[in-house]
Structure formats: C-alpha cells, structure tokens
Chain A
C-alpha cells in the first residue's frame, strides 16, 4: 500500500462514518442485531475493504483475491455496510437486513451474497476456515492473504486455540488475524466473564507475531496490516483496541449495547451525532 495523503485518509474516515450511519439505519430497520461491535470496528472494515485488501467487487470469486473470513458472524452489519459501499451489491439492500427473503442474513451466509467468503455465527469457527484458506494458498503457491476478523469474547472458545496452535506450527505467514479488543461480551466485560489477558503473550507463546493497534485509527490499522504482510516467519495477530459503540456517545464502552439495536429516538440521536461530529473520529486526526 503506497503512502496515503491527508486527503485520502480523510476520505477513508468519511467512508467509515458513512458505514456507521448505515449500521444504525440497518439495525433500526431490522429492530434486532448487534450495535456495539459493528460500530466499534467500522474503521477496521473500512481500512480492509478500501485500502488493504486486494479485491475486485466485480469479481467476488476471483481465485487470487485476499479473503476476509468473518469469524464473529454477529458483526454482519458492518461487513454488509462495507461491502455495499465497496460496490458488491446495492446500498438500498442494506435495510433488508434480517428480513424475510433478504440476502442479508442475520449472520452471514456465503451462498447468499457476493463478497461473503464464509458462513459464520457460532463463534470460533472462522479462524479454522481462515487456516484452510491460507493452507490452500500455500499449496497452490498463491500470493493472497487470508484475513480473519474475530471478537475478543470469541477467544473463550476452545476451537480458537486449536487453530492458533495449528497456525503457529505451520508458520502461516499469509494469515492475518484481527481481534476486535473492545473488552465487552454479552454478559459483561471480558475480564470479568473470562479473563483473556495477557492475550498478547498467549498468541506469542503459540508462535505468532503480535501487534497492538489503535483500532479506531485507520492509518494505524493500514500500517499494521502492511507490517503483518511483511512478517515472513509466522502468522500475525493484530490486537485492535477499539471503543465499542464508537461514534455514538451513549453506546460507547457499554456492554449493554453488545447485542441490541437502537430504538427510533436513539437512532435519530445516533445519526445526528455521526453526521455532525463525524463520530468524533475526524477530530482525533485533526
């Protein structure tokens, strides 16, 4: 990825803000779904789909493309919003999320919509699929990268550590695991429900390269992805520290917003905040 100009960075931040607004609209229309994670990770998805990944929306099945395996399927709203903005399908379809006959299933189905690289929902399964994709790339001597996106609460699943062990053994340098370290899960804060720390040490001890990232800073995310691609010896995990509910003040840092949508009044307030403050994201770089 070449050096980004200020103008280009601003444009990415604007896209992330639009993605957030679409998430609010989708959740309001669906009247169910997850708010905190998708809002908190909008910068990551924007960075991946608009700056990092080697993809072509016109050829969603291109064999040499980079893949994004969404392991935490409940992040579907942010994935859908990013894909629609990137041109995989019409944006008007976004508000059909979770509705009957929609291609936008509550949790992603790879047979339903172009650009979806895997089906997910039950946690811990995506990382293993990303390993398979990375292994296939090695066998075929292809140059694509397999990105995996996981929640932090998801790390509770035993399958994750089976996969982390396998990736270390096979030195899968074409695998980049992105963890949304927002510290919340349904029942509360991750460190109360099931402590993950020292998460970085855990991955390192399994043979991974680890990078701590400000997950709400698009430049830093892009930079970390490029570093990860340059690590030739082992797989890399980006521990992306994010603010759950980022951009909407009354949702930020509140685990109560993990799995619920905004009501009409809250959505109006949220959209107002995102439109007028740029979700305060713009301010952080100015």
Chain B
C-alpha cells in the first residue's frame, strides 16, 4: 500500500509516467538558491551543460566560476570560497568529483568543515554507452568514511531540487549523487523531504526494501508485484546515507525482520554498508543486497546494463523472497 501521507506522484504506476533525469533538479534548485541567497556560487569543470549549472551561469554570471578540466583545483577553490563566507556548489561527473579529488575533499573541505556542496552527476551504471570508466559505482563508499560530510542520493528530479535547496541551509560539506538518464518522477512538490529522515513509501511487515536513488521506482514496482502474491514489503526511500536515519532503519529491522538494500552502486561500502553497520549493531536481521556485484561495468544501453547486472524490479522481488526465506529459517 502506498503511503498516502507522502503525496507521491498519482501517475506513478501509469505507463506514461513523467520521466526526468535527477540532475535536472540540481540545475533548477541552484537557480532558485541564487535568487534567495547571494552567497551561493556555482563552479564547473568544463561540464556546465550536462551537470545543469549553465542556467545558473546565465542568471548569475558574476557568481559562476569556470575551472576548466581541473577537479582538484576546483575543489580547493570551493574550499577557499567557503572559508570566505561563500556557499560554493561544485559539480562534475561523480567519477571525477569526488573520483579525482578525494584528498582535496577530505582535507581542504571536510577537515576544515568548509561549507562546500559537491554534486557528482552521471553516477551509476545507467550512464550507459560511455562504459566502465564513466560509471561511478564506488563514489558513496569512497566518501562515506570522511567525517563531517553529509551524503544525499535523491530518487527523482523533484527530490533533487529539494535536496539542493536544503543543502544550502546545512553548515558543512554535502555530497549529492545524480544520474544521467530520465527516470520516473516519484514524488511531488508536496512530498515531505528532510535531510537525514528516511521516508516509508510503501507499508508492509514481511520485509523492508531500503533503497536510494532512482531505483526507488523499481523497488515500488517490486513491492507491487510482491503484494499481488500476498507478500507485503515496506519500501523505505533512504535518500540520506549520512547521517543515517537509524531510528527508521532499526524500526524496519525490528518490525519486518528482513532487509533488502537496493542501490546503483557497488554492494560494498555504499548504502548496503551503511545499513548493515546500523542493523548489526542494533538489531541483527538477514540482509540481501541488490547492486553492482563487485565488478566493473561496460558499455550498453542503461536498461540493458541494469538488467545484466541485476538492478531490476525482478531481482528485487527475488532478493525479497530470499531474505524472507532466511528470516523464516533462522
């Protein structure tokens, strides 16, 4: 049963559900922030159109900084701007930022608790034809261990816009992760969004699907399919990986006794890592994972790749059945 209180997209299960890339919400959020906060600055490393910051650049050219193809320097410039009272938003592809500037993110930004917002676009295997080099599948794991950093993985363009605007009000560094492809719009302007608060989109007690990013949609489809077989699963949109909403996660472990994590990321160190750490420390239950099985991707169409590497509603259904079996046998 979909949680009616969340005002999700009423056309969510229609065949012609509106599809928008999550990154579009970043561009829109930035322009809106530019209007209300004169300290907001956007930085780009020669990727202003695909990271959607070009609209901000047109609206506020004096607060738009083109850094060229130099991500380490861009991250450092952002740190310096933040140390001078600005709220810089750095955007690139996730394989480059944080991929090529992890040390700068760690020392120049996070150690100083500098107020820098970092956007990693084109994350996940759904980048498609560009192949493994451009498919960021390790970014969450690589930044999750850095203190002071907030990590948000929005599920659709509307949530991305909300996250972008909310980030400006967080004092300290934030990492957001976006995808390239059009994905279904799950939420609406009226859906609540609070950094650090996971939302229960679908109620059930047999197992919990804890998911981040656009795969929230596949998780809802899976929950619907399972419901038709009489299996009721809870679907939790865990958009904030850090700080983790431990209360909601522990409640899911206690109340459903089985968890499936779903992410477009390696199954080590990302969402699954965060959930497993929380659950094993508080209320151990069986956990199954849907995600990249510890290998590099390859070229292909996004849907082909998601299919080949097992990040589909069908695989989520299977994982739910596996975890429920484990729950019952334990």
Contacts and interface: CB of A to CB of B under 8 A. Distances in A.
Given A111-B112, A117-B83, A118-B112, A128 B107 contact: no
Given A119-B107, A125-B76, A159-B73, A110 B112 contact: yes
B49 interface: no
A119 B78 contact: no
Interface string B79-114: 111111110100000000000000110011001110
A166 B70 contact: yes
B76 A132 contact: yes
Contacts of A111: 111-113
B83 A132 contact: yes
B112 A139 contact: no
Residue of A111, A129, A135 with most chain B CB atoms under a 10 A cut-off? A129
Interface string A112-143: 00000111111011111111111111011000
A248 B104 CA distance: 35
Contacts, number: 108
A126 B79 CA distance: 10
B41 interface: yes
Interface in A146-165: 146, 158-159, 162-163, 165
A128 B65 CA distance: 13
Nearest to A163: B73
A135 B77 CA distance: 8
Given A119-B111, A120-B107, A125-B107, A135 B73 contact: no
Contact of A133 (B63, B74, B84): B84
Dominant SS at the B interface?
A: helix
Contacts of B77: 128-129, 131-132, 135, 163, 166
Interface string B53-68: 0000000001101011
B79 A128 contact: yes
A146 B228 CA distance: 65
Contacts of A163: 73, 76-77
Interface residues of B, number: 30
A131 B83 contact: no
Contacts of A131: 73, 76-77, 80
Interface size class of A (residues with CB under 8 A): 35 or more
B107 A132 contact: no
B112 A128 contact: no
A163 B74 CA distance: 9
A41 B83 CA distance: 25
A25 to B, nearest CB: 27
Nearest to A142: B84
B164 interface: no
Given A63-B85, A159-B76, A135 B65 contact: yes
A166 B80 contact: no
A69 interface: yes
Contacts of B82: 132
Given A159-B72, A165-B70, 15 more contacts: A63-B85, A110-B83, A110-B112, A117-B83, A119-B108, A128-B108, A129-B77, A130-B80, A132-B80, A133-B83, A133-B84, A136-B86, A146-B80, A166-B70, A169-B68
Interface of B: 41, 62-63, 65, 67-68, 70, 72-86, 88, 103-104, 107-108, 111-113
Interface of A: 63, 69, 109-111, 117-122, 124-137, 139-140, 146, 158-159, 162-163, 165-166, 169
